Amino acid sequence: MPYETISVDDRGSHVAITLNRPDALNSISPDMIDDLNAALDAIADRHQLCALSITGNGRAFCAGADLKAAQGRMAGADATTVNSAFLDALRRILLRIEAFPTPVIAAVNGLSLAGGLELVMACDLVIAVESAKLGDAHANYGLVPGGGNSVRLPRKIGPTRAKQLIYTGEFLSARQMMDWGMVNHVVADGGLTDGLEELIAKLANKSPIGLRRMKRMVDDGQEQSLEAALRYELALNAQHAASEDRIEGLAAFNEKRAPRFEGK
């Protein structure tokens, strides 16, 4: 289907979403949130999907919320109501990306600020180019986070480092963010496509249902006590024992061949 603010490349086991508002540094608008929801609707039941990637067109991954558009929406209206409605929609799409059953990869091609950083943190894995800059940036404009930076950022990099980014509004390099645990891989400028494809290839030959269950184990386990999380792992393991992919994987091992997984 046609989209106004994103493009979608469906490659079978991998779907690539590109934020496509380069003149606005791929800033997040209500239309972009609608397009992202529609794109996720279209692939929600794809059992053979191994990965979803999100990147940006142009020199930015995502510069956050579209502040110019926000000013226009709030002109002559109840600013608090309009702002709350947008932030609620942003919160819901980020939660949906975070909870998407398949591993989600942020391919950071440039600036990732404020809501853009919140989008990065909603993803499972992050690959970034050497020149990419990441930061909260809200403080630079007299704003405060509304899409999760005050909550997810301390959990990702620790409260002391999170406060540094939130209070100062500074932009950090991809290498620094990798040192802090935010970014998994840094690649040379111009090498993002190859780096992403290499990462996708490592997932594409794995069991899709196994990937989905491992994502649930890790994500849901973070919110539980150690004992409860271990019980949850065993429960999902028991569910997985009856899966066709597990049977196929063991058969392939015994027969010394590559497995043919179908996500069942």
Q: Greater confidence, 33 or 46?
A: 33
Task: For residues 123 and 53, give the distance between their C-alpha atoms in angstroms, rounded to a whole number.
Answer: 9
**Which residue is associated with the tokens 């939130």?**
166
Average pLDDT of the residues of the chain:
92
- Contact criterion met (CB below 8 Å) for 198 and 125: no
- Give tens-digit pLDDT for 148-191: 899 999 999 999 999 999 999 999 999 999 999 999 999 999 99
182 and 113 part of one domain: yes
Tell if the pTM clears 0.85, that is, is over it. Answer: yes
137 and 197 part of one domain: yes
243 part of a folded domain: yes
111 and 200 part of one domain: yes
Count CA atoms closer than 13 A to 179's CA, side-chain side.
6
Task: For residues 174 and 199, give the distance between their C-alpha atoms in angstroms, rounded to a whole number.
Answer: 17
Element containing residue 17 per DSSP (H, E)? strand 14-19
Name every residue whose Cβ is closer than 8 Å to that of residue 175 and which is 6 or more positions away in sequence. Answer: 130, 186
Q: What is the distance of C-alpha 105 from the center of its chain?
A: 6
pLDDT value for 162 = 96
Torsion of CA 6, 10, 16, 21, to 10 degrees: -10
pLDDT value for 12 = 86
Q: How many CB atoms lie within 10 A of CB 161?
A: 18
Tokens of 81: 């109501």
- Single-letter code of the amino acid located at 70: A
What is the CATH classification number for the domain harbouring 213?
A: 1.10.12
72 and 47 part of one domain: yes
Helix (H, G, I), strand (E, B) or coil at 133: strand
Task: For residues 205 and 210, give the distance between their C-alpha atoms in angstroms, rounded to a whole number.
Answer: 11
176 and 244 part of one domain: no
Tokens of 113: 């600020």
155 part of a folded domain: yes
pLDDT value for 75 = 57
13 and 34 part of one domain: yes
196 and 216 part of one domain: no
Tokens of 254: 């015994």
Q: What percent of the chain has pLDDT over 90?
A: 80
Element containing residue 62 per DSSP (H, E)? strand 60-62
134 part of a folded domain: yes
pLDDT above 70: residue 71: no
Q: Greater confidence, 263 or 36?
A: 36
Domain that holds residue 176: 6-204
- Give tens-digit pLDDT for 115-161: 999 999 999 999 999 999 999 999 998 999 989 899 999 999 999 99
103 and 214 part of one domain: no
189 and 232 part of one domain: no
Domain count, the chain: 2
**Which residue is associated with the tokens 């002109």?**
75
18: left (phi over 0), alpha (psi -120 to 50) or beta: beta
Point out the least confidently predicted range of 66-80, 90-104, 178-192, 195-209: 66-80
117 and 247 part of one domain: no
pLDDT value for 29 = 95
263 part of a folded domain: no
